[in-house]
Structure 1
Amino acid sequence: MEETTQRSFIIGDHWLYFKIYTGHKTSDIILAEVIKPMATALRNAGVISKWFFIRYADPKHHIRLRFYLPDPGKIGVVIQQLHPQLKAYIAEDLIWKVQTDTYDRELERYGANTIELAETLFFYDSEMITTFLAHLRVLRDEELRWLFALKATDHLLDCFQHNLEQKLELMKNLAFSFGQEFGMSKPLKVQLDKKYRNARKKVESFLQSAPEQETELSFIHTCLQQYCRASESVVGKILELHQQGDLAMDLNQFLNSLIHMLLNRLFKSKNRMNEMVCYNFLERYYKSTLARAKKS
């Protein structure tokens, strides 16, 4: 399978790859107000079938944007759509560089036989996150970003049919490895303890809330449900490969990568630190929920 799975895509291949160099705050505006509507129009016109983005620094912060063209000959249509919109931001010095590059698939990380499935999940993820960012720009409530991070991560695990024990095990491992990365010292642990104590009621309420309870936030439930419905067949194929022993890595390892990319798309800065806090909070939440369930 490795031999027949294309690893690299240069300009003119099916995957078209742009790097858009911009600031942290501006990246949210570009994603929600330029890229999402443009990608929707291109999909509706049949020019692209999927797309996705990630945030990256090399060390300059930028958006890595990838479009899949069933017909690579339509590359000019994408450029014609993208050019005038980005040029307006360049004129305002909000974007300082746009370039194309070679897209090298991470076959070792996602598996040669599942990379296309992973890319489809990246597409659904990018659609969900950009829809959320558009709402966030209207609501202007930054607290919602990290609460949504927790709920979206939990929902992803639901889509992959993880029960509470499995969720706890996965988060425990992620929290531990990120804790090591940040050198989980006593002061940091005390800081996280305090942070979670202060946020616990809000976290529990948000993760347990039904959509009708928060009409202003019902769009969050809609975003998550749309993701789960859209990804159902792809998730089914991945779970089938896992059950057959044909997944190139452990399922949790695959999920770790999906969660990491979800949070990468959501947070505009301090991504690793925000990830660590999310994993820490979810571990605590699952642990206490499981303890209560066992008592009752």
Structure 2
Amino acid sequence: MELSEELFYQQSETVLKVIQQSTSINDRWRLAFENIESLLEAAKFTLIEKRDFCLQMNTLYQQEFDNNKNLWIHLNNKFKEKKDWFEKPLDNPEESKKKLNALQYSIFNTLRSHTDQDEFKSARTSLLSSYIHMFINRLFMSDQRLHELAVYHFMVGYYKMQIGKQKKRITYEPDKLYKSHLREELITIL
């Protein structure tokens, strides 16, 4: 509980710094993305688990907004427009990131050491959704649930891209290695 309170405080400090530096909605979305990514890393999620968690949360929020097709199209277009900035880190003081990361890892390591595997997975998901929800509520002044939907939507798209890139590397690399090996054999024979 103390660690959660400390995390809440550190997240609030980070939000204040970003709000003081910029009023851009894009900067807030990027901070939300970085914070969620950091939490999922601390919880030791794989890339597929990250996608699945964000997809689950996105689905819940989509239902809340009645699976609005126009909203879905708008979010898809926004993601296409903004997907490049997921690769660029926000100008966020490194010291703040280190404190947040240390706290997050500490929380999930403590949870892991005090629960069995099944309990841990359930508690981890519950904690993550709560921490993210509280963070989004402080980060955006209005329409927090809509912003939370947007952030999860963007993250699902981002993780799908990352998974696609991984699959592409795995698919093409063995072929390249094989062709490279054949080339070397031909050179030796000639």
TM-score with structure 1 setting the length = 0.52
Q: What is aligned with 1:168?
A: 51
**1:78-103 CA deviation, whole Å, 9 max, x = no partner?**
xxxxxxxxxxxxxxxxxxxxxxxxxx
Q: What is aligned with 2:68?
A: 185
Q: Distance in 1 between matches of 2:62 and 2:29?
A: 18
Q: What is aligned with 2:102?
A: 229
Q: Distance in 2 between matches of 1:183 and 1:196?
A: 20
1:292 to 137, 157, 165: 165
1:243 to 116, 120, 131: 116
Which piece of structure 1 moves more, 282-291 or 131-140?
Answer: 131-140
Q: Distance in 2 between matches of 1:123 and 1:172?
A: 28
Q: Distance in 1 between matches of 2:70 and 2:119?
A: 44
Q: State the 1:189 CA deviation.
A: 1.4
Q: What is aligned with 2:174?
A: none
Establish whether residue 270 from structure 1 lines up as the match of residue 153 from structure 2. Answer: no
Q: What is aligned with 1:130?
A: 13
Q: Distance in 1 between matches of 2:56 and 2:149?
A: 11
Q: Distance in 2 between matches of 1:185 and 1:218?
A: 34
Higher helix share: 2
1:259 to 127, 132, 143: 132
What amino acid maps onto 1:224 in structure 2?
K
Q: State the 1:246 CA deviation.
A: 4.8
Q: State the 1:282 CA deviation.
A: 0.3
Conserved? CA contact 2:75–2:150, under 8 Å: yes
The number of residues matched between the two structures is: 169
Q: CA RMSD in A?
A: 2.2
Q: Distance in 2 between matches of 1:158 and 1:263?
A: 18
**1:98-137 CA deviation, whole Å, 9 max, x = no partner?**
xxxxxxxxxxxxxxxxxx2xx5224223223323423431
**1:223-243 CA deviation, whole Å, 9 max, x = no partner?**
222111134333211122343
Q: State the 1:218 CA deviation.
A: 4.5
Higher strand share: 1
Conserved? CA contact 1:128–1:224, under 8 Å: no
Q: Distance in 2 between matches of 1:288 and 1:156?
A: 20
Conserved? CA contact 1:172–1:283, under 8 Å: yes
Conserved? CA contact 2:111–2:120, under 8 Å: yes
What amino acid maps onto 2:159 in structure 1?
Y
2:31 to 145, 148, 166: 148
Q: Distance in 2 between matches of 1:130 and 1:260?
A: 16
Q: What is aligned with 2:156?
A: 283
Gaps of 5+ in 2: 170-190
Conserved? CA contact 2:4–2:107, under 8 Å: yes
Q: What is aligned with 1:201?
A: 84
Distance 1:263 1:246, change over 3 A: same
Q: Distance in 2 between matches of 1:259 and 1:218?
A: 18
Q: State the 1:201 CA deviation.
A: 1.3
Conserved? CA contact 1:192–1:277, under 8 Å: yes
Q: Distance in 1 between matches of 2:121 and 2:31?
A: 30
TM-score with structure 2 setting the length = 0.78
